[in-house]
Amino acid sequence: MTQEFEFSDELVELRTMVRDFCREFSPEAVVREAMESDTGHDPALWRRFGSELGVLGLAVPEAYGGDDAGLVAQAVAVEEMGVALVCGPVLGTVALAMPALAALTDEDAKRELLPELCSGAKLATLVAPLSDGTLDVDAVTVTATTADGAWRLGGEVTQAPDAGTADLLLVVATTDEGPALFAVAGDAAGLTRTPLTTLDLTRRQAALSFAGTPARLLATGAEALGACARAALVAGVLLAVEQVGGAQRMLDITVAHVANRKQFGQAVGAYQAVKHRCANMLIAVETARSAAYHGVWALQDGTDDPQLAASLAKAVASESYAWVSTSAIQMHGGLGFTWEGTPQLYFKRATTDSLTLGTADQHLDRIAGHVLDGLVRA
C-alpha cells in the first residue's frame, strides 16, 4: 500500500463522525421525505452539516471561513454523504461553487461569499456548460452587457444542478472581451428558475432564464476559465468518491439480503453464482475507491496530472456505481426496483451521476488522448 492510501487517525475519526451523524439524522426515511419536499432537501439539516459538524468547508482556507483541512478530508465527508444518499446541494455548493470561488484572485469576493457557504447558511452553484467534464466555451448561452458600470445578463440555461434553491449563482457569460464569471443573487430581478423533473429525486436541477438580470463581475478571461476548470476537476473527483459511497452501501445491503433470504431451505447467498456476484461487486467498489482517492490526492498534492487523475476517477467510479447498483437490484429480485425498495434510489442516483460532468466513455477518450499525446511528445 502506498503512502497516499493511508488514512490518518484524524480522517478515520472524521469519517466515523459524519457516518454516525448521517445514520441518526439522515436515514432513508428522512431522505424520502426530503426528496419529495418543495426544496428537495432540509435546509436546517444542511446548516447542521456546515455549522455543527463543519464538514462543508473542509477544503476552503481558514481566511474564508473554512477549515483548510484539504481536499482529501472533504472527500471523506462527501463519501459518507454518498453512503447515506444525503439530499442537499453537495454537487452545486461543495463540489462546484466553492472551488470556483476559492480559485479567484478577488479577495473581497472570497471573504464575502465563501463563509456563508461553509457554514451552510447559504447555497450556491456554478452555471456553466460542463456536460463533458470540461468547460465548453462555445456552448455558453448567457451573454453579459455593461452600461454605466453595471453588468446585466441575458439568455437561457436548460439545466443546472441545485440551481432552484441556490442563494448565489456563479454564471459563465460571454462578453465583448470573451468569457467571464459573474455572481448573481438567487432573488435578482429578471431571473426565472424553473424546477426540472429529474430521474434522481435526491438531487434537484433547474432551468434558468436571465432577462436583464443584474450581475457582479468576478473574473474575466484566463482567470474565469481557470476557476471553472479547477471547479470541474474538483467536482469530478468529489462526485467519484460520492459514487464510491453509494456503491459501498449497495454492496453492504445486498450481502445482508442474500445472507438472510432463504430459498429451498438455505440462504440465497450460499449459492456459488450469488457468491461470485458479491465478490465481483466488492472488486468493483474497491477499484473505484482506489481510482477516486488517487484523483483526490493528485489534486491536493499535485502527485499526478490532475486532468488524467480526475478523468480516471470519474470513469471508473461511474462504471462501478452503475454496475453495482444494477447488481443490487437483480440480487434483491422483485424487491429491488419497487418504490419501497432501497436499491432503486441508488440506481437512479448512479444513472444520473454517470451522465453528470462527462460519461465514462468521454473521460476514457480524454485519458487516451493524454497518454497518446505523451507518447508522441516522448
261 has a pLDDT exceeding 70: yes
Q: How confident is the model at residue 378 (pLDDT cuts 50, 70, 90)?
A: low
Share of the chain above pLDDT 70, in %: 97
pLDDT of residue 1: 40
User: What type of residue is 316?
Assistant: V
Is residue 13 over pLDDT 60? yes
- Count the alpha carbons within 13 Å of 256 in the hemisphere toward its beta carbon: 8
3-class secondary structure, 120: coil
The three cell numbers locating residue 159: 439545466
Instruction: Name residues whose C-beta falls within 8 Å of residue 303's C-beta, 6 or more positions apart in sequence.
Output: 4, 297
Query: Taking the CB of residue 328, how many other CB atoms lie within 10 A of it?
Result: 28
Query: Is pLDDT of 301 > 80?
Result: yes
Residue 144's DSSP bridge partners are: 153
Return the amino acid letter for 36. E
Using alpha carbons, list the distances in angstroms from residue 197 to 194, 206, 219: 10, 9, 33
- Cα 70 to Cα 301: distance, rounded to the nearest angstrom: 9
DSSP of 285-349, one letter per residue?
HHHHHHHHHHHHHHHHH--S-HHHHHHHHHHHHHHHHHHHHHHHHHHTGGGTTSTT-SHHHHHHH
Average pLDDT rounded to a whole number, residues 180-195: 98
Q: How far apart are the first and last CA of the chain?
A: 30
Return the SS3 of 240. Answer: helix
Q: Name the amino acid, one letter, at 193.
A: R
Q: Which residue is associated with the grid cell 426528496?
A: 35
What is the rounded CA–CA span in Å between residue 234 and residue 228? 10
Residue type present at position 28: E
pTM greater than 0.85: yes
pLDDT of residue 226: 97
**pLDDT by residue (tens digit) across 16-70?**
999 999 999 999 999 999 999 999 999 999 999 999 999 999 999 999 999 999 9
